[in-house]
Structure 1
Amino acid sequence: MNIKYLAATLDLMSQRFSNEDNLVTNTDFDVKLAETFIGLNMEFIKNTDLGGNFCDLIYAKIEKNWSSETLELLEHIACNHSNPKKDYFVIIPKDEKEKNNIEFLHSNSINVIRGKAFSAIQRAIWNQKILLNEKTKNLIDRGLHDEHYAVRYAAFGCLVPCYNHDERWAMEMAYSVYEVDYKFGGHIDSIKLIPRMGQKGYSEKLIPIITKMFFSDDNRVCDFGAQFVTLFYIVNDLYKELVFSTVGEGAERAIIKIAITHFSYKDGLYKEKCKEIILAHCNSTNDVRDYSLLFSDRKVDINKDANFIIDLMESRAGKKMINIFIEYLYELDDAIEKYSNAILKIFESLIDGIGKNQDELGNDYYIEPNKLSGLLISLYDRNQKDKKMNKRILNIWDLMFENNIGITRKFSRDIMDI
């Protein structure tokens, strides 16, 4: 029997076809027919690369009502298939460092056969096709002690759906893995597990593990470590020194990401801490994508957070998102008049900063000056009855005129020529 033909048949079953060309759709999939084929070729599935195609099929069609025999075959492959051998890699590492890189392990875990089996088992537990019992726990434990790193990585993913059924066991297993190898903190599913563990009494126990992650030379491990350090500082007052230390660009983005995510969390419960973190890092970054979410996602309150916005907009990050800030103000629309005082306070600081740094305007400020002028005119129109406010607006206009910012000079000359 040619294994290639059998593999092609299993791969064909795994696909989800559209109905456009009158092909078989997912709803037409016949489990009994598929299991007949599997039964006829079971020995090949157990002992050859056909096992990988079988795992792909179960993973793709996990919502189907597979028999207990088929799911037991999946479990058998997870523990007993010969692929991978101890030093075998589907994707060949360039060096020893890449061999232990967490993203490299992820790529191999979904390509080696025992790894594929555990990935399918993870989905099966999520979909309650495989129940969490002592047999399943022993299966996962065996996977976590597999001789191959990539298989251990795949087996670790099974702990996340297990958490929903037996959180104590899942946390104990995860912690035992982290203790042996902190790099598993960079596993894609640790982003869900570690925050949950922190809420269940593991925050202190995890300190040495997360600290090692924070200083790791593996980019993703370091990224996750920086996220956890920031989260545990915000919620548990841990890792303050690390959060406010000088870090690389990747770690800094991770820190800012968590601070901005929690900025308006639970009605601003952590807002002051988040402000403190953001202002500590906003002068060292070249990337403002995350900072801009404060405005685009309406996390800041133009009135309550006016002083914070001033400090932010005077920073290196703030200079690069003046346009984003102005767009945010335009989107407030009716609120512009309501918050005129706060807006002017921010503007006074902003214009003064630009005036003092004219030489940097082209290089450091991401700004369309005419937008500043336009917003100032809009503020003037909406506050015509407020003489005190009008005087402040005209003072800012004079500052812009003096520093040749926007259309102020041209507009003023046009008025004088009327």
Structure 2
Amino acid sequence: MSTDPQRWVAGHVASLPKSGIRDFFELVAKMKGQDVISLGVGEPDFVTPWHIREAAIFALERGKTYYTSNLGLIELRRAIATYVEQHFNVTYRPEDQILVTVGVSEALDLACRAFVNPGDKVMFHQPCYVSYHPSISLVHGQGIAVPTYARDNFALTAEALRAAWQPGAKMLMLNLPCNPTGGTCSKEQLDKIAAFCREKDLLVLTDEIYSELSFDGAHTSIASLPGMAERTIFLHGFSKAFAMTGWRIGYACGPAPLVDAMMKVHQYSMLCASIIAQEAALEALLRGWDSVLKMREQYHRRRDLVVRRFNEIGLKCHSPRGSFYAFPDVTPTGLTEKEFAVGLLEKEKVAVVPGTAFGENGTGHVRACFATSYEQLIEACNRMERFVGGARRA
């Protein structure tokens, strides 16, 4: 009999690739103490605003250390309903159309487990966040990658959806603005995508975690368009806009029967989100908007810097309309995206992520996160310019 513990690992888990981001950052970890500037991990460099942290401390002091409803604190769900209506023009009932989750990542997992049968096909645009395709695979669904391109500023188009669609497609995953490209869609583009989803009777899962960090024009949620709220699960959270990554708090909104299905999975796995994180999230929604605006202003300034410098260096880079990521084309150096990322790290101590970590449509690009200080970004760009000059001479 074999003594290898690997024999007990489920086949569909054994076949999953490890995250390309985490694999790359094992290299970064080995260079600890070597003055590495990281443009890799997608995390704000701001700490959670003090008044939000203080609300959590006060909740602890009052002994709020117990379970909440599976759906989450009703006070928080009411605040979420108000916030989503004000900022996204979609109305949800706090009582049965909103579920508080452990980050948007759990909400994504719940939706896949609640709605995808084995063999169902799920469309998603690519390059995309590293969890989307594996989340489909973990529930034995079939992922259909829909390509987006630099020539379109990585916006998803209805034409690309139509070309990629296959019979049996049940759901479309959206992430706008997008990680890793910063691409998003205009209202006109979303209108066409919405019409396609209605035509093909697709359920839409829209992850709008970066929506507050939109720089050029107003953000539109597909859930707000005619005939879409009844076929859309709206996912959002606090990690990016409110600098609350470690709090692990998010939410899902949608038709009551669909939220109830997600809640069933949630109650048997996570039970409920942390009450302390929920108290902090409530404070963020009630009194945190000024901090969001201040942080967004800084991200906007940083975006303009890195996009300008990348293009001056000769790495063609579209201007991301949202998020805190730039996605420059590194092919002019003659290096692959992985060679570029590894070389830049080893020679100039700057960490970026190879674009293929986000799917094959990331070939030839790297993701550079500009959620770090302006001064650090200037130094990182100077080092990158040095590296690109050396690569071209080699």
Q: Which has the higher strand share?
A: 2
Over alpha carbons, which structure has the higher Rg? 1
Q: Output the TM-score relative to the length of structure 2.
A: 0.22
Q: Output the TM-score relative to the length of structure 1.
A: 0.21
Q: Which has the higher helix share?
A: 1
